[in-house]
Chain A
Protein backbone atom coordinates (compact mmCIF):
# COMPACT_ATOMS: atom_id res chain seq x y z
CA UNK A 1 0.00 0.00 0.00
CA UNK A 2 0.94 3.66 -0.06
CA UNK A 3 3.58 4.90 2.32
CA UNK A 4 3.77 8.10 4.32
CA UNK A 5 3.56 11.16 2.10
CA UNK A 6 4.55 14.72 2.87
CA UNK A 7 4.04 18.01 1.10
CA UNK A 8 5.55 20.19 -0.08
CA UNK A 9 8.79 18.34 -0.78
CA UNK A 10 10.69 21.62 -0.74
CA UNK A 11 9.78 25.00 0.72
CA UNK A 12 11.72 28.24 0.51
CA UNK A 13 10.40 31.09 2.60
CA UNK A 14 11.48 34.43 3.92
CA UNK A 15 12.33 35.04 7.52
CA UNK A 16 9.25 36.04 9.47
CA UNK A 17 6.74 34.21 7.27
CA UNK A 18 4.55 31.34 8.47
CA UNK A 19 4.76 27.90 6.87
CA UNK A 20 2.56 24.82 6.96
CA UNK A 21 3.90 21.34 6.35
CA UNK A 22 1.58 18.44 5.69
CA UNK A 23 1.84 14.73 6.48
CA UNK A 24 -0.42 11.94 5.24
CA UNK A 25 0.30 8.82 7.31
CA UNK A 26 -0.17 5.24 6.26
CA UNK A 27 -3.87 4.39 6.38
CA UNK A 28 -4.82 2.80 9.68
CA UNK A 29 -1.71 3.87 11.56
CA UNK A 30 -2.76 5.32 14.88
CA UNK A 31 0.51 6.98 15.86
CA UNK A 32 2.13 9.91 14.06
CA UNK A 33 5.45 11.62 14.78
CA UNK A 34 7.21 14.74 13.57
CA UNK A 35 11.01 14.95 13.59
CA UNK A 36 13.46 17.57 12.43
CA UNK A 37 16.79 16.71 10.81
CA UNK A 38 19.39 19.46 10.62
CA UNK A 39 22.58 19.12 8.60
CA UNK A 40 25.05 16.84 10.35
CA UNK A 41 22.73 16.18 13.26
CA UNK A 42 20.48 13.35 14.27
CA UNK A 43 16.74 13.35 13.97
CA UNK A 44 15.22 15.51 16.68
CA UNK A 45 11.81 14.57 18.04
CA UNK A 46 9.22 17.34 17.84
CA UNK A 47 5.72 16.03 18.57
CA UNK A 48 3.80 12.74 18.81
CA UNK A 49 0.12 11.94 18.28
CA UNK A 50 -1.39 8.67 19.49
CA UNK A 51 -5.03 8.00 18.71
CA UNK A 52 -7.33 10.39 20.54
CA UNK A 53 -4.89 11.10 23.36
CA UNK A 54 -3.47 14.55 23.95
CA UNK A 55 -0.34 14.99 21.81
CA UNK A 56 3.12 14.85 23.35
CA UNK A 57 4.55 18.27 22.49
CA UNK A 58 7.67 17.95 24.61
CA UNK A 59 10.05 18.24 21.64
CA UNK A 60 8.73 21.46 20.13
CA UNK A 61 11.61 23.96 20.30
CA UNK A 62 9.50 27.07 20.82
CA UNK A 63 5.93 28.34 20.88
CA UNK A 64 6.30 29.28 17.23
CA UNK A 65 5.87 25.58 16.45
CA UNK A 66 2.51 23.85 16.60
CA UNK A 67 0.90 20.80 15.06
CA UNK A 68 -2.52 19.31 14.74
CA UNK A 69 -3.94 16.05 13.51
CA UNK A 70 -7.41 16.12 12.08
CA UNK A 71 -9.68 13.10 12.21
CA UNK A 72 -6.86 10.87 13.39
CA UNK A 73 -5.23 11.00 9.98
CA UNK A 74 -3.60 13.98 8.24
CA UNK A 75 -1.29 16.17 10.31
CA UNK A 76 -0.10 19.72 9.76
CA UNK A 77 3.02 21.20 11.35
CA UNK A 78 2.93 24.98 11.47
CA UNK A 79 5.93 27.21 12.05
CA UNK A 80 5.10 30.85 12.70
CA UNK A 81 7.48 33.75 12.14
CA UNK A 82 10.13 31.48 10.69
CA UNK A 83 13.77 32.02 11.58
CA UNK A 84 16.88 30.96 9.67
CA UNK A 85 17.65 28.33 12.29
CA UNK A 86 14.37 26.62 11.39
CA UNK A 87 15.94 25.53 8.11
CA UNK A 88 16.02 21.74 8.17
CA UNK A 89 14.34 18.64 6.81
CA UNK A 90 11.07 17.96 8.59
CA UNK A 91 10.23 14.27 8.65
CA UNK A 92 6.93 12.67 9.51
CA UNK A 93 6.56 9.03 10.56
CA UNK A 94 3.61 6.81 11.36
CA UNK A 95 3.31 3.56 13.25
CA UNK A 96 0.75 0.84 13.64
CA UNK A 97 0.53 -1.31 16.75
CA UNK A 98 4.01 -2.68 16.16
CA UNK A 99 7.19 -0.87 17.09
CA UNK A 100 8.41 0.16 13.64
CA UNK A 101 8.00 3.74 12.52
CA UNK A 102 7.70 4.35 8.79
CA UNK A 103 9.03 7.66 7.55
CA UNK A 104 7.90 9.96 4.81
CA UNK A 105 10.32 11.60 2.37
CA UNK A 106 10.42 14.83 4.33
CA UNK A 107 9.94 18.51 3.59
CA UNK A 108 13.13 20.48 3.02
CA UNK A 109 12.59 23.93 4.50
CA UNK A 110 14.93 26.80 3.73
CA UNK A 111 14.40 30.11 5.48
CA UNK A 112 16.17 32.99 3.79
Chain B
Protein backbone atom coordinates (compact mmCIF):
# COMPACT_ATOMS: atom_id res chain seq x y z
CA UNK B 1 0.00 0.00 0.00
CA UNK B 2 0.88 3.65 -0.05
CA UNK B 3 2.05 5.46 3.11
CA UNK B 4 1.25 9.12 3.45
CA UNK B 5 1.83 10.59 6.89
CA UNK B 6 0.88 13.92 8.35
CA UNK B 7 0.30 15.11 11.91
CA UNK B 8 -3.16 14.61 13.29
CA UNK B 9 -3.66 18.02 14.88
CA UNK B 10 -2.03 21.43 15.10
CA UNK B 11 -3.03 24.55 16.98
CA UNK B 12 -1.88 28.08 16.26
CA UNK B 13 -2.76 31.66 17.07
CA UNK B 14 -4.49 34.07 14.74
CA UNK B 15 -1.91 35.99 12.71
CA UNK B 16 0.78 33.35 13.18
CA UNK B 17 2.34 30.90 10.73
CA UNK B 18 1.77 27.15 10.70
CA UNK B 19 3.64 24.52 8.69
CA UNK B 20 1.96 21.18 8.02
CA UNK B 21 4.38 18.45 7.04
CA UNK B 22 3.59 15.48 4.85
CA UNK B 23 5.90 12.55 4.17
CA UNK B 24 5.14 9.88 1.64
CA UNK B 25 6.38 6.46 0.64
CA UNK B 26 4.56 5.42 -2.49
CA UNK B 27 5.16 3.00 -5.33
CA UNK B 28 5.36 5.93 -7.73
CA UNK B 29 5.09 9.69 -7.78
CA UNK B 30 3.40 11.96 -10.27
CA UNK B 31 2.43 14.96 -8.18
CA UNK B 32 1.35 16.02 -4.72
CA UNK B 33 -1.82 17.87 -3.84
CA UNK B 34 -3.04 19.78 -0.82
CA UNK B 35 -6.74 20.14 -0.12
CA UNK B 36 -8.59 22.09 2.57
CA UNK B 37 -11.70 20.59 4.12
CA UNK B 38 -13.95 22.46 6.52
CA UNK B 39 -16.08 20.33 8.80
CA UNK B 40 -19.01 18.88 6.93
CA UNK B 41 -17.93 20.29 3.59
CA UNK B 42 -16.20 19.09 0.44
CA UNK B 43 -12.42 19.17 0.15
CA UNK B 44 -11.30 22.16 -1.90
CA UNK B 45 -8.11 22.29 -3.94
CA UNK B 46 -5.26 24.39 -2.56
CA UNK B 47 -2.07 23.49 -4.40
CA UNK B 48 -0.29 21.08 -6.68
CA UNK B 49 3.45 20.34 -6.80
CA UNK B 50 5.12 18.04 -9.27
CA UNK B 51 8.61 19.55 -9.35
CA UNK B 52 10.88 20.30 -6.39
CA UNK B 53 10.59 23.71 -4.84
CA UNK B 54 8.17 26.19 -3.40
CA UNK B 55 4.84 27.20 -4.94
CA UNK B 56 3.37 30.37 -3.45
CA UNK B 57 -0.25 31.34 -3.71
CA UNK B 58 -1.25 34.24 -1.52
CA UNK B 59 -1.09 33.31 2.16
CA UNK B 60 -0.56 29.64 1.32
CA UNK B 61 2.66 28.07 0.03
CA UNK B 62 3.51 24.46 -0.69
CA UNK B 63 6.95 22.90 -0.89
CA UNK B 64 8.08 19.61 -2.38
CA UNK B 65 11.27 17.57 -2.15
CA UNK B 66 10.92 14.42 -4.22
CA UNK B 67 14.26 12.98 -3.10
CA UNK B 68 13.13 13.18 0.53
CA UNK B 69 9.52 12.16 -0.07
CA UNK B 70 8.48 15.30 1.74
CA UNK B 71 6.14 18.20 1.34
CA UNK B 72 4.83 20.96 3.54
CA UNK B 73 1.97 23.40 3.40
CA UNK B 74 2.70 26.78 4.92
CA UNK B 75 -0.17 28.94 6.10
CA UNK B 76 0.77 32.54 6.85
CA UNK B 77 -1.14 35.31 8.63
CA UNK B 78 -3.56 32.77 10.02
CA UNK B 79 -7.22 33.70 10.14
CA UNK B 80 -10.01 32.04 12.11
CA UNK B 81 -11.51 30.79 8.85
CA UNK B 82 -8.35 28.75 8.26
CA UNK B 83 -9.49 26.33 10.97
CA UNK B 84 -10.04 23.18 8.93
CA UNK B 85 -8.57 19.83 8.02
CA UNK B 86 -5.72 19.87 5.49
CA UNK B 87 -5.31 16.80 3.31
CA UNK B 88 -2.10 15.73 1.62
CA UNK B 89 -2.57 13.51 -1.44
CA UNK B 90 -0.20 11.85 -3.90
CA UNK B 91 -0.89 10.90 -7.48
CA UNK B 92 0.98 7.64 -7.75
CA UNK B 93 0.69 6.59 -11.38
CA UNK B 94 1.10 8.56 -14.55
CA UNK B 95 -1.61 6.75 -16.47
CA UNK B 96 -4.45 7.68 -14.17
CA UNK B 97 -5.29 10.43 -11.74
CA UNK B 98 -6.24 8.44 -8.67
CA UNK B 99 -5.08 10.09 -5.49
CA UNK B 100 -3.82 8.42 -2.32
CA UNK B 101 -4.65 10.56 0.70
CA UNK B 102 -3.15 11.03 4.12
CA UNK B 103 -5.50 11.05 7.10
CA UNK B 104 -5.50 14.85 7.25
CA UNK B 105 -4.25 17.44 9.73
CA UNK B 106 -6.83 19.35 11.75
CA UNK B 107 -5.68 22.92 12.27
CA UNK B 108 -7.32 24.97 14.99
CA UNK B 109 -6.76 28.72 14.94
CA UNK B 110 -7.23 30.45 18.29
CA UNK B 111 -7.80 34.14 18.87
The yes or no verdict on A and B being binding partners is: yes
Chain A residues proximal to chain B, CB less than 8 Å:
3-4, 31, 33, 35, 40-45, 48, 50, 56, 59, 91, 95, 99-106
| Interface residue count on the B side (C-beta < 8 Å) | 22
Q: How far does the alpha carbon of A90 sit from the alpha carbon of B43 in the complex, in Å? A: 12
Selected from B44, B97, B100, B101, the residue in CB contact (under 8 A) with A99 is B97
Selected from B43, B48, B89, B97, the residue in CB contact (under 8 A) with A31 is B97
Q: Are B45 and A100 in contact (CB under 8 A)?
A: yes
Q: Are B45 and A102 in contact (CB under 8 A)?
A: yes
Q: Which of B84-99 contact A (CB under 8 A)?
A: 87, 89, 91, 96-99
Q: Are A103 and B96 in contact (CB under 8 A)?
A: no
Q: Are B98 and A56 in contact (CB under 8 A)?
A: yes
Tell me whether B4 is interfacial, beta carbon within 8 Å.
Answer: yes
Tell me whether B111 is interfacial, beta carbon within 8 Å.
Answer: no
Q: Which residue of the partner chain B has the closest CB to A45? A: B98
Q: Are A42 and B104 in contact (CB under 8 A)?
A: yes
